[in-house]
Amino acid sequence: MQRFVIERDIPAVGSLNCEQLRDASRTSNAALAKLAPRVQWEHSYVSGDRTFCLYLAEDEAAIREHAAMSGFPASRITKVLTIIDPTTAD
């Protein structure tokens, strides 16, 4: 599995309430269940008009298939080559 960052342009997503975000998660999870084990959602960061989602997937095509099934756009898909964090310095 490869790791991807998916940027989703969704107007006013940052103003959604907890119930609306829960419903969005359920929609995504329903699509993921149909695609398992080809794609897995790790988590997402929500900002004003965009989400940044971290996924594990076999390939970009699986990400695009999830986007089509869930109805959430995959505006930009970036493959993660490696991860660094504060412990990388040690």
Looking at residue 33, its pLDDT comes to: 98
Please state, rounded to an integer, the average pLDDT across all residues of the chain: 97
What pLDDT shows up at residue 60? 97
The pLDDT value recorded for residue 74 is 98
Confidence of residue 20 (pLDDT cuts 50, 70, 90): very high
- Going by pLDDT thresholds of 50, 70 and 90, the confidence category of residue 27 is very high
Mean pLDDT of all residues in 31-53: 98
SS (H, E, C) the chain: CEEEEEEEECCCHHHCCHHHHHHHHHHHHHHHHHHCCCEEEEEEEECCCEEEEEEEECCHHHHHHHHHHHCCCCCEEEECCCCCCHHHHC
pLDDT band at 73 (very low <50, low <70, confident <90, very high): very high
Q: Which residue segments constitute the domains of the chain, with CATH numbers given?
A: 2-89 (3.30.70.3090)
